[in-house]
Amino acid sequence: MIRSGTLLFISLLAIFLVVLPAAARECSATNKCATGCCSQFGFCGTSEEHCGEGCLSTCDFRLGCDAQNPCADGTCCSKFGFCGFGKDYCSPEVCVAGCDAKSQCDPGTFGADYVELQKCPLNVCCSKWGYCGATAEFCAGKKVKRPSCPVDSTKPMKRVVGYYEGWAARRICHTFMPEDVPAGVYTHLNFAFASIDPVSFEVVPAQAEDIPLYSRLTDLKSRDPALKVYIAIGGWTFNDPGATFHTFSQLAGDEAKQKLFSASLISFMNTYNFDGVDLDWEYPVDTDRGGNAADYANFPRFLQNLRAALDAGSGGRNGLTVTLPVSFRHLQHFDIIELEEWVDFFNVMSYDLHGLRDKGNQWLGAFLNSHTNMTEITEYLDLFWRNDINPEKVVLGLAFYSRTFVATDRGCTEAQCLFDGVGEAGPCSRDEIGGTLTNAELTDEIRAAAVTPTLDEEAMVKVAVVGRKWITYDDEDTFKLKTDAARKLCLGGVMVWAVSQDYTEWGAAAGAAAAGGSGAQKRDGTVVYNTRYSKQLQRATNYQSPNTVDTSFLTFPIFEPSANIVRSQCFWSNCGAGCGSGYLAVPRLDTDASHNELMQDSTHCHGGRLRHFCCPWGKTMPKCGWFDFYNGKCGKHGGCPAGSEEIVGPAWRQREVGSTKAACNNGKAQVACCETKLEGEGLKSLDSMRGYDVCKWYGTAPGHCDAAGAADAYPDVGYGAACSIADPDRPMQLFATHWGSGGTHCRNSKYGGHIDQFRPLCCDEPEMDTQWRSCEIVPAQRKDANFCEATCPAGTIRLGMEKPDDLDNCKGGGHAICCEPRFLTPANNKIEAEEAYYQALLKVLANPDQCNWVQYKEDTLITAEGTANMLGSMKLEFSLKLAKLIHDAAAKGQKPSTAADPWNTFSRISFMGLVSRSPGSPGASPRPALYAISPADACLALPGSMQHTTGLVVCDSKLNGMKARVYKLLSPIGDSTWDTHCISPTPESLERALGGIQLVMAVFDYYNDANVKARHKQVYLNVMAQLRDFALQYDTAYNQPGDANSRGPILGQWETGWREFMVAHFSRVRNHTHLWLQEKLAGLDGVWHKAFNECGMDEGWCAFCIQARDLTASCGTRGPSRQTSGRFRLHRL
């Protein structure tokens, strides 16, 4: 008997067994598989059992790939029909097609055999699919730690770099000359571009027309001596297919070629007065741009060699920067970690992010977007922070131009709308592809259209829509946003491409007039009129050169050279570096010093490298020494004076400039004390120590130097009042640091005696021309084993040191506290009153093997800019002073030479009698219409007249006067003048002497100029033709066959006489000048030999005497008689 419960179970089981197959079916003839084939049993799959006999639906399904159909994206095809990278797709057991494919990187599961790179370039992320990138889809939420600094918009930026385009001077409109760059706005100007000869690998002008522009740009330093001007080499077109397509790669891979390049670069910079070089290689490794894979490793080695060559042989013209792209595509091919060590800073091209190339690009697409979108730029800059690049070495690129687009839909002109193409080229810039406008052009267009630009605050750009044309650009509003963004990221400054795409001063004024107003900041509610973009930028950077003063009247800002002299301050060099051009290491004078030892310090330097204490060469050297040592038991005094009075001077005349724990065995520090005031001159500070004199470290180390102790003693005034309590004359705390000037530690016993406290640096209240400014802790440079080496950027001086935080993860070392000096005072003497010339003299003396005669300058000027405007002379290039010499030579039958040779006599002819006959008289030309003057006057007109301008050259009046004396074989400088002003052993006398010699040399440089030589030769040939023509007319008139009164033919005689005279005269000029130069230089050499022998113990003066002596000796071998020197060889006609 079956129980009822059991019967029920059997019944349910039977139902379940019947229903289960039906419920498990995944597909049918009508219910199709989403992927794969439906088998006869109703299951989805991709095997033959599913897609073969009995298949119910989607039987033609094919996998993503198979052996006959490789993956379209180039990945490996597995036997299961799926595409991908790694061993799951590419291993021999699994792969059926494309099995050699490798992923870009390994996300952690692929294996080394299946990837190209174990690590992504620039430390970007590897996605789970094996691709490198930096966005969220690659990094899966991993964020970069960006540098962060407080934003102070009033703080001047350290660097404001501007590029000047050589071709801007040749535009058909909106022409921009070097003189149009406003003074005081930029710290650096780069001339774009010079080239490299692909055969000799020497630096050469990109265009011959650029040559006169070089000196015109570098001459801007005369109105702003703080300005540095670099030559930029390369550029985009340099790596276009052609002669220089592979030149950068060849240069970077060959040290022999690098030596040729470096030597020519130094010569080039000395010739045209450049201070450094900017390398713009676009781009290494990229084969489409002439690169190869070896470029990545070769470029840093090239930079290392170039840095060494510049530091050793450029005489201080050793500025070195590199231009970098901002996008990952190109930046990945630069080893920025290695490059950082050798460059002063990077000019980052953070512009041109978008253009016509976006159209058809699967990653970007034809969407409206600004080429200076700051949101994108900030993300791109993360590539630098991923590699621990010092943000102080990163200079943000800004644009003085726009990329324009034509929107697809007039009704959709916002960002991310579609575009069809780009706007037409600017009427002045005339870009070949179109789509760009200079800021001057776009302002003209916006003004003409009377449209109102809008501000996109997120992208930090201005947007103007003219019809369907979409224009984005930067102006004062966005410059302020972007410079503050740069400040927030702790960047080292901003860079502009290009200053020459701005209005000129006159162009801006014309714009104001067109707008119906005047004033530098006139607005009409729609757009800013007559504001030069450089000036707008200046209001954002807040930088004004310390060498210029603002003489603004109402709204017109004008910056002129300051009447005061910039006082270069003594400084500690960076680790392992010398003092550089124009500076000398200070002697160490304390009793523990070795013979001729210098002031040096190894505090926070890696591997035992040393710093030097350096002071301006040619100035009074301060007395300095290391004190408070006491045979290793350091810190008895805890500050200056520290037993240093007898050597350095009384306490009020000295300051602590450094400290170190080196050689101390008690944990305390010895201190460097230096003289800051001149002995016997009251309160007058040494010019080079003025910055140290106005400040003083608080208290004495280690127990009485902390600001907290002062606050405890005077609770009512607080922590920041330590300075005003201790020294009312120096009440301002410039900064406070745990490690003071380097090695002093403040450890008040109240706090246990082992915890570092803050020590303030107390200073005078700042004045406009007497102050330290922009002080900040500069992150250390990472060295081997994570040692943090303290360093200061160019243009700043280390005043203190700071210990690293735990988060810095430093294994030794520390950070530097660096400040920008601004110390100007009136001139002390006449030499300083002519500071520009004196500084040039110092550069020559610092590099005595190079005689760089800068008195001669090329220029291109229109005739209207003649004597009234420029104190110049319109020089008849073939000097009329020769007329008398030629007449005397012909009349006497004697050439201008004393040599006895058979060619020393002219054929005697009636020179003046023949050439002076007027038209209509016997012997005159039968073509009075051609010769409306006498033959003699015709010859004299050829060297230069309103009808014959070939011989006219605008010439500086001093040079013209000297040329006259040289031509007439007179002493270039009269003996009495020379003896009175030029042979005393004083800097002023040396200045006069070298200035005169320089001017004499300039005459020969002038005549070696290609333009002048060409004019010289043409005038010579014109006179030759004139003489021949007259001889033919003469022979026709007086030498007819059978004429009893024939005087004999003269054809050929005058041309021969003219040629022989010119050769002989110029040979005598050269020899006469050479002898004069030899005599004077030999005399100067004797003067300075004697001065050196009598210089006594004044090391600064002795150094001056040595270099003055070396200069006169070396330049004595470089006169115009050296036929190996094309520089001084006269053109033989």
pLDDT digits (tens, 9 = 90+) for 351-363: 988 776 767 766 6
Greatest mean pLDDT range, 377-386, 736-745, 833-842, 1086-1095: 377-386
Q: What is the pTM of this model?
A: 0.58
Residue 391: what pLDDT? Answer: 94
- State whether CATH 3.40.1350.10 applies to domain 160-541: no
Residue 506: what pLDDT? Answer: 55
Residue 869: what pLDDT? Answer: 28
Average pLDDT value over all residues in the chain: 78
Residue 848: what pLDDT? Answer: 46
pLDDT at 523 over 50: no
pLDDT at 428 over 60: yes
Q: What angle do CA 36, 91, 133 make, to 5 degrees?
A: 85
In this predicted model, what pLDDT tens digit does every residue of 677-729 receive, in sequence order? 887 666 678 999 999 999 999 888 877 787 666 556 555 555 567 788 777 78
What is the SS3 assignment for 24? helix
d(CA 419, CA 358): 10
**What's the one-letter identity of residue 356?**
L
d(CA 1031, CA 409): 79
Q: Are 502 and 440 within 8 A, CB to CB?
A: yes
C-alpha torsion sign, points 133, 136, 137, 139: positive
Pairing of strands 319-325, 345-349: parallel
Quick one: average pLDDT of 259-285? 95
Residue 316: what pLDDT? Answer: 77
Buried b (16+ CB within 10 A) or exposed e, 581-609: bbbbbbbbbbeebeeeebbbbebbbbeee
The label of the residue with tokens 């360093």 reads 791
Residue 1117 neighbours by CB under 8 Å, 6+ apart:
none
Phi, psi of 1003 (to 5 degrees): -60, -45
Residue 7: what pLDDT? Answer: 43
Pairing of strands 781-782, 788-789: antiparallel
* Residue among 421, 505, 523, 404 nearest 461 (CA): 404
pLDDT at 17 over 60: no
515: DSSP letter: T
d(CA 1111, CA 1092): 13
Pairing of strands 600-601, 571-572: unpaired
**What's the one-letter identity of residue 1087?**
V
397: DSSP letter: E
Dihedral angle, C-alpha 715, 716, 720, 721, nearest 10 °: -100
d(CA 937, CA 106): 88
Residue 715 neighbours by CB under 8 Å, 6+ apart:
none
The more confident residue out of 637 and 522 is 637
925, two tokens: 């030309």
State yes or no: cis peptide before 283, omega within 30 of 0.
Answer: yes
Greatest mean pLDDT range, 128-137, 333-342, 405-414, 837-846: 333-342
The more confident residue out of 548 and 1083 is 1083
Q: Are 353 and 397 within 8 A, CB to CB?
A: no
d(CA 678, CA 671): 21
In this predicted model, what pLDDT tens digit does every residue of 121-142 receive, in sequence order? 999 999 988 999 888 888 877 8
Domain with CATH 3.20.20.80 in the chain: 160-541
pLDDT at 858 over 50: no
pLDDT at 842 over 80: no
DSSP assignments along 256-292, one per residue: HHHHHHHHHHHHHHHHHT--EEEEE-S-SS-GGGT--
Buried b (16+ CB within 10 A) or exposed e, 442-452: bbbbbbebebe
pLDDT at 847 over 60: no
pLDDT at 579 over 80: yes
In this predicted model, what pLDDT tens digit does every residue of 599-614 receive, in sequence order? 999 999 988 889 999 9
Q: Where are the alpha helices (DSSP H) in 953-1052?
A: 957-967, 975-981, 987-1008, 1010-1038
Tell me the pLDDT band of 556, cut-offs 50, 70 and 90.
Answer: very low
Residue 864: what pLDDT? Answer: 33
In this predicted model, what pLDDT tens digit does every residue of 918-941 receive, in sequence order? 333 333 333 333 333 455 555 555
Chain centroid to Cα 629, Å, comes to: 44
Tell me the pLDDT band of 1122, cut-offs 50, 70 and 90.
Answer: very low
Q: Are 66 and 83 within 8 A, CB to CB?
A: no
Residue 567: what pLDDT? Answer: 84
Helix (H) or strand (E) holding 940: helix 935-941
Partners of 191 in the β-ladder: 164, 231
* Residue among 235, 239, 196 nearest 498 (CA): 235
d(CA 699, CA 373): 51
3-state secondary structure 308-327: HHHHHHCCCCCEEEEEEECC
d(CA 335, CA 121): 9
What is the SS3 assignment for 798? strand
Q: Are 932 and 919 within 8 A, CB to CB?
A: yes
d(CA 309, CA 315): 10
Phi, psi of 695 (to 5 degrees): -125, 160
Residue 896: what pLDDT? Answer: 53
Tell me the pLDDT band of 527, cut-offs 50, 70 and 90.
Answer: very low
Q: Are 109 and 86 within 8 A, CB to CB?
A: yes
Tell me the pLDDT band of 291, cut-offs 50, 70 and 90.
Answer: very high
Quick one: average pLDDT of 960-968? 77
Q: Rg (Cα) of the chain, in Å, rounded?
A: 39
**What's the one-letter identity of residue 97?**
A
State yes or no: cis peptide before 498, omega within 30 of 0.
Answer: yes
1045, two tokens: 């009164």
* Residue among 881, 754, 776, 189 nearest 498 (CA): 189
Q: Are 475 and 449 within 8 A, CB to CB?
A: no
pLDDT at 1119 over 60: no
